[in-house]
Amino acid sequence: MKIFSIDKLLSLTFGVIVFLFFAFVYPFHLNYQEQYQMFLFTADYFFQLMEKPGGFSDYMGNFFTQFFFYSWVGAIVIVSMLTLLQRAVWSVSRRMGANPLFVPLTFIPSLLYWGMLCDENYLFGGVAAMLLVAFWIRAYTLFDSIPLRISFFLISIPVLYWLAGGAFLLLPLFAISREITARKIKNLYLVLLAFACILLSVAFPILSKTYFLQYPMQQVWIGANYYRFPVNIPIAAGVIGILIVYIPFLIRFLSDKFQPKKTTFILSIQLFVLIVGGSVFISRSSDMEKEEVMAYDFNVRMRKWDRVIKLADQKSPSGPLSVTCLNLALAKQELLADRMFHYYQNGVGGLLPDFTRDYTIPTIAGEVYYHLGFVNTAQRYAFEAMEALPDYQKSVRSVKRLAETNLINGNYAVAGKYLHLLQQTFYYRGWAKQALQTMKDEKLIEQHSEWGWLRQCRTKEDFLFSEAEKDMMLGILFMQNKTNRMAYEYLMAYTLLSKDLKHFWQYFPLGESLNYKSIPVSYQETLIYIWGMSNNDPTQDIPYPVNPAIKQRFQAYQNISRQSNPESNLRAEFSDSYWYYHQFRNN
């Protein structure tokens, strides 16, 4: 292997590894990112973002993030950006006379940004800003003529500030450092240059804030949306920026210091540290618990109910939101009443989570309300989730849901407004066009497998939503449409999960209209459990057809439960039963 080609080979290897990670290990983080923005191919959208410093980076970041809809495309985008960043750092280093031996060091900024992107709140606009500045620095190094170089970078300060936000500071930092080390400018001129740099760098943010930006000074300085919560200072991004500036200097220093005698050894050491350190860093930066919730949520969003259940079969969900998604999938597959206790249940919170003023829980909880037929509540949750986005973006997922809920409710004008917006997106254009066609014909909506059905499920009896009375609301919903099996099963699940056996017994007969072939397993278990508690002989005279096998199983359960410390034995055999949930789960 020739040393001169090592940089390209390493870039390629790095790219492949990053791709594999985001495409196969961490794909749902990308889907998660995509849903909380709405990139529009309109001039208004562009100018809206360009109104503030760093807006161009945000625009580019949002442009690329829209492709995260397909995680493998998103992975390619990330690979391209991170590899370009590395190539830019390498290119600057080369320009400064770097020895290819030290190329592994140029991967450090990209590697660190990879780790940062494992946090779902780091946005892609930050990568775009860094890349933009890195290329700008590269452009700066192209000028050999000192007056041209200085003019270029002084003019670049305001331009780069507006395009990339606070990351613009990296350019003067690099330029001044370069001129100091190059020693081609007299000290006096250097001081003057540094002074001009500082003046310009400080003046533009302050002037922007004074005359037309209504943001806190900190945000005016930072500019681009590195982080979803603009009040946070993206220190990690700052560190990466400084590395982008100084790694070329470091390599230049090392290149001067170490003559290439033991090239293989030096290269191996660097690669070893990079690979081991990088693996540890990425592993620590990744949050696989969040990835699990995002996987559940994405499959719910895509209505891939079987995949949700498959995920749970592979590993029972432990987080409350994953449980919410699983219960919804089970209900959609008509398995909730039979199998819900086969998985971990965290009480009624896993059925219908309470509203919170954020963008994650209402998005997931809204899915449940939507599929139940609480169309207004689903609409509210979608709207609130969108409004709760701290970076003031609009959510394409929420807008799509708002189009659906308004369409179901017959509010065609406002549904049309949302569909018109979606028509200006890349991935949702086709869907919106089709929905607009459907909207023109009332019959098509009625016949639509989802919208038509949900129309029938909506309550005609008005009431005000009450978080504390979800069972009452479910009851009203079911009584309006006694074929709404999901409403019935959620009502029953609510009583089961809240251990409200009295109401379970009371509501159970309501399910007669659903014509079950046999009573669902968890209901049978509960019926016999209640019967057992209220009768001496639980196997006799129960007024419902309980399967003999379940009766026998209950008998076995009771036998073990009479033993001392029965929980571990019961868990081994009966953790999939309602009896175990009722007796041992404290939610």
Partner 1 sequence: MNRIFIILFLFATLTACNQKPVPSEIRNEKPDIFPDYTEVTIPENIAPLNFRVNDEYSAIDAVIEGRNKEVIHVQDKKFISIPAGKWTQMLTNSKGDSLRITVSIEQQGKWIQFAPFSVHVSETPADYGLVYRLIAPGYEVYSKMGIYQRNLSNFDQSPIVENTLIPGSCVNCHSFRQSDPKEMSLHIRGKLGGTVLMTDGKISLLNTKTEKTISNFVYPYWHPSGNYIAYSVNNTNQGFHATKEKRVEVVDGASDVVVYDIKNNRAISNELLMQNSMFETFPSFSPDGKTLYFCSSASRKMPEEYNQVRYNLCSISFNPEDGTFGDRIDTLFHATALNKSVTFPRPSPDGRFILFTLIDYGNFSIWHKEADLYLFDVQTGNSRPIVEVNSDDTESYHSWATNSRWFVFSSRRIDGLYTRPYLAYIGENGIARKPFLLPQENPDFYLNMMQSFNIPEFITGKVEIDPNDIEKIVLENKGKQVENLKLQ
Interface residue list for partner 1 (CB under 8 A): 42, 44, 209-210, 214-216, 219, 230-231, 357, 374-377, 379-380, 383-384, 386-389, 392, 394, 409-411, 413-414, 416-417, 420-421, 458-465, 473, 476
CB nearer to partner 1: pick between 462 and 537: 462
Q: Which amino acid is at 320?
A: P
Give, in degrees to the nearest 5, the angle at Cα 254 between 248 and 258.
150
Cβ contacts of 329 within 8 Å, gap of 6 or more = 299, 300, 305, 306, 308, 309, 312
Task: Compute the least distance from the CB of residue 200 to partner 1, in Å.
Answer: 21
> HEC string of 112-128?
HHHHHHCCCCECHHHHH
Q: For partner 1, which is the closer residue by CB, 454 or 501?
A: 454
Q: Is the CB of 37 or the CB of 106 nearer to partner 1?
A: 37
| Nearest residue to 556 (alpha-carbon basis) of 530, 535, 574 | 574
Question: Measured from the CB of residue 357, what is the shortest distance to partner 1 in angstroms?
Answer: 5
Compute the least distance from the CB of residue 28 to partner 1, in Å.
Answer: 25
Whose Cβ is closer to partner 1: residue 326's or residue 378's? 378
Min. distance of Cβ 350 from partner 1 in angstroms? 23
**Which tokens is 217 given?**
């000074």
Alpha helices, H only, 165-186: 170-182
What is the token pair recorded at 254?
């090392």
Q: How far is the CB of 493 from partner 1 (least distance, A)?
A: 20
Q: Taking the complex as a whole, how short is the minimal distance between the CB of residue 388 and partner 1, in angstroms? A: 5
- Which is closer to partner 1, CB of 100 or CB of 230? 230
CB nearer to partner 1: give 394 or 585.
394
Cα separation of 133 and 159, whole Å?
Answer: 11
How long a stretch of residues is the chain? 587
Min dist. Cβ of residue 408 to partner 1 (A) = 8
Tokens representing 188 are 């006096």
DSSP SS3 for 227 = strand
Q: How far is the CB of 316 from partner 1 (least distance, A)?
A: 33
CB of 462 to partner 1, least distance (A): 4
Give whichever of 300 and 388 is closer to partner 1, judged by the CB atom: 388
Check the CA dihedral 185-241-123-387 and report its sign: negative
Nearer residue to partner 1 within complex by CB, 130 or 403: 403
Specify the residue, 44 or 541, whose C-beta has the smaller distance to partner 1.
Answer: 44
Q: Which amino acid is at 504?
A: F
In the numeric block, which tokens belong to residue 540?
Answer: 């006799």
Closest separation in Å from C-beta 381 to partner 1: 9
Query: 518 in the Ramachandran plot: left (φ > 0), alpha (ψ -120 to 50) or beta?
Result: beta
Task: Supply the angle between the helices 71-95 and 55-65 in degrees, to the nearest 10.
Answer: 140
Is the CB of 424 or the CB of 547 nearer to partner 1? 424
How far apart are alpha carbons 470 and 462 in whole angstroms?
14
Say which DSSP state 541 is in. -
The set of residues, in sequence order, having a beta carbon less than 8 Å from that of 252 and lying 6+ positions away, is 93, 96, 97, 98, 181
Map tokens 């000192």 to a residue.
146
457-462-468-474 Cα dihedral, nearest 10 degrees: -20
Q: Which is nearer to partner 1, 92 or 386 (CB)?
A: 386
- How far apart are CB 77 and partner 1 at their closest, in Å? 26
Which residues are CB-contacts of 524 (< 8 A; sequence separation ≥ 6)? 544, 546, 547, 550
